[in-house]
Amino acid sequence: MSKELTLVTDSGETVYGVARVTSVESRGLWGNLVSGNLEAFNAANWQDYDIAITELGSIGIYEGSMPNVVASIFSVEVVYYRQLGASPAVSDTRIATAVYQNTNGWQLINLEIPEGIFGSEDETSGALTVISNAHRRIHDGDSYSAQVQQLVSDTNDRTAIGFITPGGDVLVHMFAQGNASDAAEFFIREGPTVANNQGAMQPVINRRRDSLNTTGVRDTSQNPTAAGAATYFAEADQAHVTEDGTVIYQDLVSGEKKKGGGDSRDESEFILKPNTQYVFYMRSLNNNDNYHGLVLDWYET
């Protein structure tokens, strides 16, 4: 086997890779090039996992070979690192992660870079095709959505969705949009005062419809709060949400199909604090009939 590993990055870097098995027969084992064995991860052996990746001239293209220690394995993840010191270290900077499958030779199946672009090889042309991180989360069953609509008629009438984010190390990556048929303001508030046991349970759907995964956000209309749903506050319930806490987003929305919250996830995503109350709402600015709509799309990591 030779030169199956290719990486394009800045010229003049010291780059190496490490191999971890992803197929079922030895999943999670790492390739130790010194012992020639697969083993459970051991940080003390990090330098023994080092796969040499060498730049071609000074053109920013780096090549290496899949190590013999994984020659009999079907699926292998190779993580590429930028070496920061005199020798490889666990603290080095990750450049990319690639998954290869051994089907009469190693083939690139999936590519991830830290900025969140994923790719796979087109079966017909061999070209690399890419999807965004958010799109991939839908495929993985980690992406969720909650949507509401309401007709209101008075100034300061509100339509709101709220929830408490999961605790621990789970992060909610939120892309929220609000629309209104007449003049309104769209808000995202962090840490507002929300009365318990008020509002109504708002279903949250998994955007991969055959997935059994459920969201970790918590509905406050129940006592105790319950994971797997959000809370809807209609006009009649708006007094149970106090407009305090921190406004992390505010925008004017006026006219049908006009949106607040941005049209691009890359520019408008919020990574929410764990175990924190959030409320997303539209507030009318006049006494005209006004259709409010809220669309919350997020994934959890």
Query: Strands 106-112, 15-21: parallel, antiparallel or unpaired by DSSP?
Result: unpaired
- Give the model confidence (pLDDT) of 194-212 as tens digits: 999 999 999 999 999 999 9
Is the domain of 88 the same as that of 187? no
Pick the closest to residue 175 from 284, 293, 292, 280 (CA basis).
280
* Per-residue model confidence (pLDDT) at position 258: 42
Is the domain of 56 the same as that of 168? no
Residuewise pLDDT in 10s, the chain (301 residues): 578 898 888 889 999 999 999 888 788 999 999 999 999 999 999 999 999 999 998 888 899 999 999 999 989 999 999 999 999 999 999 888 999 998 878 888 877 776 544 555 555 555 556 667 678 788 878 899 999 999 999 999 999 999 999 998 899 999 999 999 999 999 999 999 999 999 999 999 999 999 999 999 999 999 889 999 999 999 999 999 999 999 999 999 876 544 445 555 667 889 999 999 999 999 999 999 999 999 999 999 8
Is the domain of 9 the same as that of 104? yes
Is the domain of 183 the same as that of 296? yes
The answer as to whether 131 is a domain residue is no
The count of structural domains within the chain is: 2
Any idea what DSSP says for residue 136?
Answer: H
- Tokens found for residue 223: 């006592």
* Per-residue model confidence (pLDDT) at position 257: 46
Is the domain of 73 the same as that of 156? no
- Tokens found for residue 57: 């001239």
H-helix or E-strand spanning residue 218: strand 218-219
Is the domain of 100 the same as that of 175? no
Is the domain of 162 the same as that of 259? yes
Q: Which domain holds residue 165?
A: 143-300
Could you give the CA distance from residue 231 to residue 199 in angstroms, rounded to a whole number? Answer: 6
Which pTM was predicted? Answer: 0.62
- Which residues have a Cβ under 8 Å from the Cβ of 136 and sit 6 or more positions away? 118
Among the candidates 96, 114, 132, a domain finishes at 114
H-helix or E-strand spanning residue 268: helix 265-268
